[in-house]
Chains A and B, each alone.
Chain A
Amino acid sequence: MQRRAFLTLAGGLCAAASLVTLPARADEGVVVIANAPLRGVDGEAIKRIYGGRMVELDGQPLRPVQLAAGQPLRRRFAAAVLQQSDEDFIAYWTVRRYIGKGAPPRELASSAEVIAHVQHTPGAIGYIDAADLKPDLKPALHVLLRR
């Protein structure tokens, strides 16, 4: 299904633990959350982070995590943010791993694990469904999907 992505940077988020109210309805979008100051980060930068080509920002090492392959949200994230299919993303990392350029982002089982991981890990970046975004989280990037 063709989806258009609109990226909105919430920005300046590291210090604030509670904050940003974003529209959050089920199936409305994917939110990238981070425990890092993602000033100036846009969708292209997120692609580079998940592709292993950006590993730090302003001296802060970045640690992206992702959901396990096959999860619907992971597919939506790949299409909307990485602008490729999840199969292509897996294939990309299969090559990258075997040319000695590292391993793909660590996989977590659920959005709850992603949230807990990001909240407690400096430099961690993850994505969740916009509907799962609560005021006590740290949204870094909000991706709206328009079907």
Chain B
Amino acid sequence: MRTPTTLTHLAAALAWLGLAAAAQAQTPSSTTSSTPSSTPAAATAPVGNEAAVEPAPSPDGPTLAWSGFGTLGWAQSNRRWGYQRFIDRQGGLERDSLLGGQIDAQLSARWSATLQARLAPSDRQDNAWDLRTTWAFVAWRPNNDWLIRAGKLRVPVYLRSEQMDVGATYNEARLPAELHNIVPTTDFTGAHLTHSWNVNDSDFSVDVYKGRASQAKRVWLRDGAGPLPAGAMVRDVTTVAQGLVATWSDAASKVRLGLHRVQVTPRGDAQLPVRPAWAPLGPGFGYWQTSNGLPGPGVEMARSIDNDFLSLGFEASPAAGWHLTGEYGRIRQRKTERSIDAQTGYLTLTRELGHWSPYLTFARLFSSPRSREWARQLDETTVPAYVPGGDQLNASMRASADAIPVYDQRSWAFGAAYAVSPTAKLKAEWLHTRAKVSSMFDLPSGERLFQPRSVDVLSVNYSFTF
């Protein structure tokens, strides 16, 4: 059950901040120095008359710049079941709304620090919001070519992974879920090194990063299984992410290639089944054993999952006022056959017409045949009712099928952004998703996993920075 009071207050706060942002759209941030930059006398002194100009204090001391961002967004679908956690027929603010603040401290000419916090729906509970630190790092920039950051950072998986929370920086109502909802981790605490080369009018950079994070992984269970109730279930995991990203860009285009590896380990002593084991129960029938707590020959277990991730993206302007953005991702599993193993990609064509930016996006996500086959086997294998404990065995297989991130879906999104100011956008989008199977659907009890379904989503967002 949602919390209307909290949502109402949040909506009011977001609306107020959004209006304030629009009002001060020409002054998107505030910078203060430990020493004031000038005195009123300096500001009014005759220019060029050095004797009359009050000497400005040295600004070599630390300076602070604060800023904020937010989105107030409504999304509603034509389905009773949930899509992307929060979108259903009732509609709601939770899918896209958030509020964040950031402080950038310039500690010296070469050292700086950034702290960012975000108030958004909790990763751990569907009906709660929490305040999380999303950036907290120290940066050292010894020269033009090197940038070294250490602390809590965003994983640079996709072109816009690092700014995903800041809706005012892109035109889409939300970035394609087909890519952005399947990454094994979004944050890490560790180190991120960037080396840049300037070649004529273009830039080439290489990023290397490594770090760990604590994450909450959500699984939707259609039916309960043993002690697990139906509905959302959260598992705590620890991720260790490392990667290499190469980016080439000029004024009008960008190409980016990333290679990433994310190791996901359940918290505590928990282990992950490598693959189900067939357990015969009688002549011609049996079931898929998914846990060593169930009867059968035993299940091979692994302590962790290794995800290898390839990402390739580009931005281009094929003609004046036209922008084309595309990304492709391939995520592969090592050690288990039951985690996400998929290919994904999207293309977005945007037309700039003054303040308006209409766009069209096509996105596709499909799991490997092996992943789909395991999910299908687990979902469609049933133990006859006359077998003692058959219901429990069936429930264990259905729950295990739910736990496999499996997809075969495509989406079309048509929308437009209206730039209220350089730092605020009003957006509207219609999204149509069709899927033969999708773990982004929170299906009700008794529904089959594999069945053609579609969902239409209307979204209206106001995104701003201030």
Contacts and interface: CB of A to CB of B under 8 A. Distances in A.
B423 A94 contact: yes
B204 to A, nearest CB: 12
Interface centre among A69, A97, A115, A133 (most CB of B within 10 A): A97
A97 B104 contact: yes
Given A94-B169, A98-B169, A116 B53 contact: yes
Interface stretch (B84-92, B143-151, B336-344): B143-151
A112 B423 contact: no
A103 B54 contact: no
Contacts of B58: 120-121
B59 A99 contact: no
B106 A103 contact: yes
Contacts of A44: 201
Contact of A69 (B28, B44, B169): B28
Contacts of B368: none
Contacts of B109: 55-56, 61, 63, 123
Contacts of A95: 163, 166, 169
Contacts, number: 151
B198 A48 contact: yes
B135 A136 contact: no
Contact of A103 (B60, B104, B168): B104
Given A63-B59, A87-B422, A100-B154, A112 B45 contact: yes
Interface in B111-145: 112, 114, 135, 137, 139, 141, 143-144
A134 B49 contact: yes
B67 interface: yes
A121 B59 CA distance: 7
A101 B147 contact: yes
A98 B69 contact: yes
A147 interface: no
Given A63-B109, A97-B104, A119-B53, A113 B28 contact: no
B37 interface: yes
14 contacts: A53-B203, A55-B141, A55-B143, A55-B144, A68-B27, A95-B166, A98-B163, A98-B465, A106-B31, A106-B37, A106-B59, A113-B56, A115-B48, A134-B49
Given A61-B110, A101-B147, 9 more contacts: A56-B143, A68-B27, A98-B162, A98-B465, A110-B43, A113-B38, A113-B42, A133-B48, A136-B50
